[in-house]
Amino acid sequence: MAILPLATASDEEAGAQIPVGCISLLFRADKLMMLEADVVLGNKIGSTEEIPIMAHPPSTTSEMSLEDFLSNAIIANSCGVKLDFKSIEVLEPSLKILQNHKDNLTFPVWLNADILSGPVNSTALPVDADKFLSICARDFPLATLSPGWKVRYGAPNITSGRYEPEHITSMKEALARNNIIQPVTFPVQAILAAQSIDTLPDLLNMSRINDTTLTIWLSEVEAINITQLKKLIDIVGKNRVYLDLPESIMDQLSSSTLRVAPTTSMGLVVVGGSEDCCPMSHDVNTFTSRSLGPSSVQLSNDLLFGIRLANAPVVLSQTTEDGEIEVRISVG
């Protein structure tokens, strides 16, 4: 199974912040695979220039620019980055910055935006689909695209829903209309996805795109149909699914065919805080960062595991007698 544990560099509920002086520590976090961060147009503190910064709406000021963030990622060269664009206006200047660094981007880069209205009758305004897809394809075709839906879900009012056929059709039409051929991973909310095993598999049948996957996400622990979620993963194929789920949900997904690796935890954080270094932990929505993700597919009887991380080489590892994970990179 392809596993994607995400450290999140911005979270509106947690409200914790990683200051600029500490972001390099976050990139060096043990066994971190991907770091997710929100990108908006705004100002660095002390400047009036409007540039892409790392912040969560409605904030428009930060101590960290996208330039700063990428520089730290390049120096660390230890994990991939997922950039979540909150408006179409920030996209082009952000991609220019990525272009300037493209020779040093030796790690996976994902470009994410919610580009369509989705379940359950979401009324939130999405990022313009055609502009997002066409600009990404034109300006940075090396990235993996992560186009998703605005969703409306949560107790007490909305506790059921699914991805309807029209949601799938609209997404496929948007990709085809913009001639997308680069890798695409579709972020889908786990609870809704578990109720959509008859619709979501069709999302991956794109004639012009060879590399399509699902990223199943859940921002906080909620009641979920684990049996149905497992069934969806089996139908889609374990090598075409990334998981960005709370640790307790990952534990429920684990089975005789999904071996669990040793666990370390960190908290959701927001890039751009005070100059003083703060702990990289928080009580809200802790995520799990494990040697091979929260779970790893058993490839053989001798506890050999493998995962696929975006366009990176396959990672292989083996569990030693003391439970440690030894990692090596395959060639091809």
Handedness of CA 101, 40, 219, 201 (dihedral sign): negative
CA 133 to chain centre: 17
CA 202 to CA 232: how far, in whole Å? 12
Q: How confident is the model at residue 22, as a pLDDT?
A: 56
CA 1 to CA 298: how far, in whole Å? 9
Q: What mean pLDDT is reported for the chain?
A: 73
Tens-place pLDDT, residues 58-92: 889 988 999 999 998 898 877 789 999 999 999 99
Exposure class string for 261-295: b at 16+ Cβ within 10 A, else e: beeeebbbbbbbbeeeeeebebeebbbbbbbbbbb
pLDDT exceeds cutoff 90 at 271: no
Q: Which tokens hold the place of 147?
A: 């186009």
Q: What CATH fold (topology level) applies to the domain 6-291?
A: TIM Barrel (3.20.20)
Task: Give φ, ψ of 158 to 5 degrees.
Answer: -125, 105
| Other residues' Cβ atoms within 10 Å of the Cβ of residue 326 | 10
Task: Give φ, ψ of 312 to 5 degrees.
Answer: -75, 165
pLDDT exceeds cutoff 90 at 245: no
CA 72 to CA 62: how far, in whole Å? 16
CA 148 to CA 312: how far, in whole Å? 22
Q: How confident is the model at residue 31, as a pLDDT?
A: 55
pLDDT exceeds cutoff 90 at 93: yes
pLDDT exceeds cutoff 50 at 103: yes
Q: Which tokens hold the place of 68?
A: 């700063």
Tens-place pLDDT, residues 300-331: 222 222 223 333 333 333 333 444 333 332 22
Q: Which tokens hold the place of 185?
A: 């991973």
Q: Find, among 231, 260, 232, the residue nearest to 247 by Cα.
A: 260
Q: H or E stretch including 6?
A: strand 6-8
**DSSP-H helix ranges across 84-225:** 91-100, 129-139, 165-177, 190-194
Domain ranges of the chain: 6-291
Tens-place pLDDT, residues 156-208: 677 789 999 999 999 999 999 999 999 999 999 999 999 999 999 999 999 89
- Between the CA of residue 74 and those of 78, 130, 139, what are the distances in Å? 8, 30, 20
Identify the three-state secondary structure at position 109. Answer: strand
